[in-house]
Amino acid sequence: MAEATDDNASGDTVSVVKPEVSEAPETIPPPKPDVELIVDGFGFMPKETKLDSKSLSTDLKKSSKVLKDIKSPASEHSPCASSTNIDIVRRYTWRTKNRMTVQVITYGATITSIQVPDKRGVPDDVVAGFDTLEEYFQPRNPYFGATIGRYANYIQDGTMVVRPSGRMYMLSTNRGHNHYHGGYVGFDKVNWRSYVTGNKVIMSHVSERFHEGYPGTVMAQVSFEVTCDNTIKIEMKCTTSEPTIVNLSNTNYFNLAGHHSGPDLMYDHIITINADKYTAVDEEGLVTGEKNVVGGTPYDFRVPRSLRVMLPKIPMGGYDINFCVTQGTEQDLTFQARALHPLTGRVLEIYSNQPGMQFYTGNLLPDPDKIVEGKRSYGYVPLMGKHGTFYRKHGLFCMMPQNYPDAVNHKNFPNSVLNPGETYIHKIQYKFGILLGKYV
């Protein structure tokens, strides 16, 4: 007994084995992803505007080797890739850990919402749009957030000569006697097939030969991706069965104070545009083929300038002009423009690989102060958007990376002709951030 007592006193302990009690294992919730992608429905296409699901032409099949790079995968990736339910308009929603939310629908490959936080962390929607699919069908829709094609902007008189063949083609004239944004039924008015790979949504559309007058059958693909650093990445690709022209773009109408804020807060934006020249236009807004230097003109945004100061200097009631972006040699993406709203602190930077960028300040949106005199007088006809917002003149601005307008008819403009065996690639990045502190 004494030895046992001495052993215990020396610090040695006797281990007692307790019977094991079965307990339910602790359930650890999976970590929330940096970017979450949700898919749901946004509506149905009316029967009269169904997508035509004709097979590709023989000429297009000859260039199938190139098409494989941009062709949609097999239909098992998503039921929306099947022609049996293309009537469904799908909506894709990204949510990032930095409180950004982006929504895109397959009708027109359209961005319907971009919610980003301000310097106080309060998110707000900064792009124009509508609440319902039927509202996107209306003729007064000014292409809000849509993918534009086959050719963005004007083609004068709706005629073009495709070189080197020298063939002349007549396109539809949907804006006066000119062709505009792809015609009556451009890429913005069709329901795109879509599938998901990772956090990327890829949409595809086949534009048949001579649709709106364009030569060649074109297969187009647009991919959307949202990253955790609040960047929207868009990549557009096209191939063709015969020489044609291609110039795709995206028409987001921004107001960094919130899409509902109106002109007063839109004027506060401070704009920077990386361009030494712009394409001169005539009285109708059509390019003349000349490129003017921005220095000493109201088009000089090489240093940050306030729209409140610059807009009154424009005689046409606002900006609607293509800037010639200053690109570096062998540079993939080029910084094109920056928009800053000092009150909210939101900053938007736009990058692209295209040589031009159309800057538009919503001059043709409904103007409450304008009354038109004619056979009968009429005044302000409101355009109602999301959440009952009435969009007004100068309440939003648009920055469209693109090729130059009517480039096919001006030899000194960048090439816009796409030939069989080639792939048209247009990349856009919208980077959102916050300016902390005061802007001087």
Signed CA dihedral, 320, 324, 326, 331: sign only: positive
pLDDT tens, position by position, 4-57:
445 544 444 445 555 555 555 566 767 778 899 999 999 999 876 444 433 333
**CA torsion 202→203→209→214, rounded to 10°?**
-90
In percent, the amount of the chain with pLDDT more than 70 equals: 81
pLDDT tens across 151-188, in order? 999 999 999 999 878 899 999 999 999 999 999 999 99
The predicted pLDDT at position 287 comes to 97
> What pLDDT is stored for residue 82 in this prediction?
34
pLDDT for res 46: 87
Q: Binding site annotation covers 320?
A: yes
| Cis status of the peptide bond prior to 164, with omega within 30 of 0 | yes
What tens digit of pLDDT does each residue of 180-195 get?
999 999 999 999 999 9
CA distance 33 to 35: 5
- Within 17-70, strands assigned E span 35-44
pLDDT over 50 (residue 416): yes
Confidence of residue 317 (pLDDT cuts 50, 70, 90): confident
**DSSP letters of 56-94?**
PPHHHHHTHHHHTTTS---GGG-GGGSGGGTTEEEEEEE
**pLDDT value of residue 218:** 97
Which single residue is written with the structure tokens 């804006």? 175
74, pLDDT greater than 70: no
The CA distance from 231 to 216, in Å, is 34
- The confidence band for 245, taking pLDDT boundaries of 50, 70 and 90, is very high
Contact present, 103 and 127 (Cβ < 8 Å)? no
Q: Which helix (H) or strand (E) holds 410?
A: none
Distance CA 110, CA 332 (A): 25
Where do the DSSP E strands lie in 317-406? 320-325, 334-341, 346-352, 356-360, 383-384, 390-391, 397-402
351-375 residues labelled b (16+ CB within 10 A) or e (exposed): bbbbbbbbbbbbbebbbeeeeeeee
